[in-house]
Structure 1
Amino acid sequence: MDIPPLASKIAALSLSALPVSYALNHLSALSHPLGVALMSALILGLLFTTVYSLSRSEIYYDPLYAVFAVFAFTSVVDLVIALQEDGYAVDFMEFYTKEGEPYLRTAHGIFICYWDGSVHYLLYLAMAGAIRRRKSYRNLGLYWLGSFAMSILVFLPGNILGKYSSEIRPAFFLTVPYMLVPCWAGVRIFRQPRAPTCCTPSLVEEEQRKGLLKRPADLLLVIYLILAGLFTLFRGLVVLDCPTDTCFVYIYQYEPYLRDPVAYPKVQMLMCMFYVLPFYGLAIYALVFPGCSWLPDWALVFAGAIGQAQFSHMGASMHLRTPFTYRVPEDTWACFFLSNLLYALGPHLLAFRCLLRPAFFLQPQPPGSQASHKKQH
């Protein structure tokens, strides 16, 4: 997968978030929650207007260019929030975390900001650079789509259901468009043509003739998906207060963060049980039976989703903002880290396998197409 060049114009525009946030932090008018919400909406509107005036040709070519430009700006803001909450920056976004979205000060909120300010930020620059050069960014877009959707689907319900439900301010409603963007962006990204492959009909036929035992890498992936599916189901039952001794021991000795009243870990595990677990079952089917052309795309989506989820979950489980009783005990830290790291790594290996050798997943061509292919060459 070729990584598109980064968009320098958007990178420069996004860095303006630093002086803007510093200046806003010293405005007394922003000491009121409604003032924070109105000022945030005004800044986003002015930012969109600026992007539109500077990049009309790119926006006409692909409207997602404006989305990536605005989100790159907010990614820098999120990175500043995370650095400030961890004590690496001061006098930037204190007004927003106090009067706008106080739940960003939780361990989960901090690590969501770190992920958005690093991984999402680089993806925005790469995808905007691809649009500017009229190149495809489909694979990057699918990974971002899964990551962004998982972040929103865990964070927003966690804010409403957790102990910070009484701290919801008017700025919370600015996140409502974030629920709509993945739907619109996902449709546009999935409609983009796939990158052409060099797989000939004879290669596709040869690969699809092999059984699972003749594909050791796929066999290992199937075994991994079975184990990861069981682990997903187990953690889902744990947060649903399964009364078995195994669940009791696990939640108190290995992942006590699952009991944290902020509700983010519980929502995270339920999202995995209801969405990731069925995907694992379908992925096993696609690795056994040939011609499942949908797997490469959805493997990228779920790789992004699980990567973001595990980063936030692992970080919040050990962060100082998490109360001591809910942090991972020191004597089980290695077990926790290894199991969760493998859980995050597996979907990325699956996506890499699908992109590296897609012949097994391609639709078999009808009879006669191979003969015409030979005539052309």
Structure 2
Amino acid sequence: MTASAGTGVFVLSLLSVPLTYLFNLLFHANSGGAVFVAGALILLITASLAHILLKQKPPKDPLFYVFAVFAFMSVVNLIIGLEQDSIIDGFVTFYLKEGEPHLNTAHGHMICYWDGSFHYLMYLLMITAITWGDEYRTIGLYWVGSVLMSLVVYLLGNAVGKYGANLCGGFVINNLCVILPVWASFRIFSQPLTRDAPSKCIQDSHQKGLIGRPLDCVFVLYFLLALGFSIFRGLVTLDCPAELCQQYVQFQEPYLKDPTAYPKIQMLMYMLYCVPFYIVTIYALLVPGCSWTSDLALLHAGALAQGQFSHIGASLHTRTPFSYRVPEEAKTMFLFLNLVYGLVPQLFAYRCVTNPEFFLKNKGNQKTE
């Protein structure tokens, strides 16, 4: 397969710029017939261009087409974020008013920027890897964690937050869109593992105790602290009457009580998802040969990167009511805690990918036995 396939996806994704402008113009013209004709023509033109660009050597991996669709939608989300900040105008005005008013919230705003920048880069990297036949399991798992965290928090927040009574067609479409990431996740998990190391290196690594691995000692200590922090913030969002919880939500993170419910769902996800991860990861750092550690670390790193980006941004965003923003005197501590909470998982995932010997099973010993 040549590079023309990846280039074609990039070109098609950029078509979202004129297409959104055209749709917005026709919607404001209140011409239902024109919108229908324009939509049919756009689909026909896009399909024709895709056929022409991919005609010589069409990709065989169906994930290529999934990520091509996601890349197109990522540019649309970036357009939404830019129009919300009044950097551009006239592209998605009608959609923001009638389609998904949830996107006007601070959390929805941060999701648009994350999807339009980081996820778009992930999609292009995945498409490039598929195009050239390279291994894409590692970056794919990271993407899975990020996109699933984004979808779960956003959709549940829409359903139970203050906008829950005004759910519209956009919410239904987003629910249907969950099918593709879930299917892509299973597809990525089915890819063969490529992590390996010489049997001697694995054996030497297994013989080292935790004390002989200072960096892993630091990670164990961090996971213990992060475990307690995750449970604590989960209890805060559940209205724990303890004085410490009440003081924290009042003076440190009042955004946890935002009526949009996104921060509450985010903290509950951390408590229900991250706490089990920390427990099994501590076990994996103590007992050698837990080959599943690297995959879980990548999923967790992607999920925490997206979750913390949205949470930190929304906590400080001007679209968040002033009473729910982080107090000025608490910003330093807020940023320190949340940046550490989001960055250390990235370092641990990097450690698992670049130095996986301790987590690999010694195949040499297995054959001997």
Give the Cα–Cα distance (whole angstroms) in 1 for the partners of residues 350 and 69 of structure 2.
29
User: Is the Cα–Cα contact under 8 Å of residues 23 and 35 in structure 2 kept in the other structure?
Assistant: no
State the partner residue of 2:156.
Answer: 157
State the partner residue of 1:176.
Answer: 175
1:347 to 317, 320, 345: 345
State the partner residue of 2:301.
Answer: 303
User: Is the Cα–Cα contact under 8 Å of residues 257 and 327 in structure 1 kept in the other structure?
Assistant: yes
User: Is the Cα–Cα contact under 8 Å of residues 204 and 359 in structure 1 kept in the other structure?
Assistant: yes
User: Is the Cα–Cα contact under 8 Å of residues 303 and 348 in structure 1 kept in the other structure?
Assistant: yes
Give the Cα–Cα distance (whole angstroms) in 1 for the partners of residues 161 and 43 of structure 2.
28
Change (3 A) 1:367 1:231: closer
- Which amino acid letter does the alignment assign opposite residue 148 of structure 2? A
Q: Secondary structure at the match of 1:117?
A: helix
Change (3 A) 1:46 1:109: farther
**What aligned pairs does 1:59-78 form with structure 2 within 5 A after superposition?**
60-78=59-77
Q: Does 1:249 align with 2:247?
A: yes
Q: Secondary structure at the match of 1:233?
A: helix
Give the Cα–Cα distance (whole angstroms) in 1 for the partners of residues 355 and 48 of structure 2.
43
User: Is the Cα–Cα contact under 8 Å of residues 78 and 114 in structure 1 kept in the other structure?
Assistant: yes
**What aligned pairs does 1:35-54 form with structure 2 within 5 A after superposition?**
47=46, 51=50, 54=53
1:289 to 272, 278, 287: 287
**What aligned pairs does 1:97-112 form with structure 2 within 5 A after superposition?**
97-112=96-111
User: Is the Cα–Cα contact under 8 Å of residues 110 and 310 in structure 2 kept in the other structure?
Assistant: yes
- Which amino acid letter does the alignment assign opposite residue 359 of structure 1? E
- Which amino acid letter does the alignment assign opposite residue 19 of structure 2? V
State the partner residue of 2:260.
Answer: 262
Instruction: Tell me the CA shift for residue 343 of structure 1.
Output: 0.3
TM-score of the superposed pair, with normalisation by structure 2? 0.92
Instruction: Tell me the CA shift for residue 12 of structure 1.
Output: 1.4
> CA offsets, 1:86-145, max 9 Å, x none?
121111111111111110010000000000000000010111011111111111110100
Q: Secondary structure at the match of 1:193?
A: coil
Instruction: Tell me the CA shift for residue 172 of structure 1.
Output: 1.9
- Which amino acid letter does the alignment assign opposite residue 161 of structure 2? G
2:360 to 346, 355, 362: 362
Give the Cα–Cα distance (whole angstroms) in 1 for the partners of residues 159 and 300 of structure 2.
25
State the partner residue of 1:113.
Answer: 112
TM-score of the superposed pair, with normalisation by structure 1? 0.90
State the partner residue of 1:374.
Answer: none
1:321 to 316, 319, 322: 319
Give the Cα–Cα distance (whole angstroms) in 2 for the partners of residues 335 and 79 of structure 1.
30
- Which amino acid letter does the alignment assign opposite residue 141 of structure 2? L
Give the Cα–Cα distance (whole angstroms) in 2 for the partners of residues 279 and 266 of structure 1.
20
Give the Cα–Cα distance (whole angstroms) in 2 for the partners of residues 14 and 125 of structure 1.
10
Instruction: Tell me the CA shift for residue 53 of structure 1.
Output: 6.0
Give the Cα–Cα distance (whole angstroms) in 2 for the partners of residues 123 and 193 of structure 1.
20
User: Is the Cα–Cα contact under 8 Å of residues 27 and 35 in structure 2 kept in the other structure?
Assistant: no
Change (3 A) 1:40 1:314: farther
Q: Does 1:137 align with 2:121?
A: no
Instruction: Tell me the CA shift for residue 183 of structure 1.
Output: 2.0
User: Is the Cα–Cα contact under 8 Å of residues 59 and 65 in structure 1 kept in the other structure?
Assistant: no
- Which amino acid letter does the alignment assign opposite residue 251 of structure 2? Q
Instruction: Tell me the CA shift for residue 169 of structure 1.
Output: 1.3
- Segments of 5+ residues of structure 1 without an aligned counterpart are 372-377
User: Is the Cα–Cα contact under 8 Å of residues 75 and 116 in structure 2 kept in the other structure?
Assistant: yes
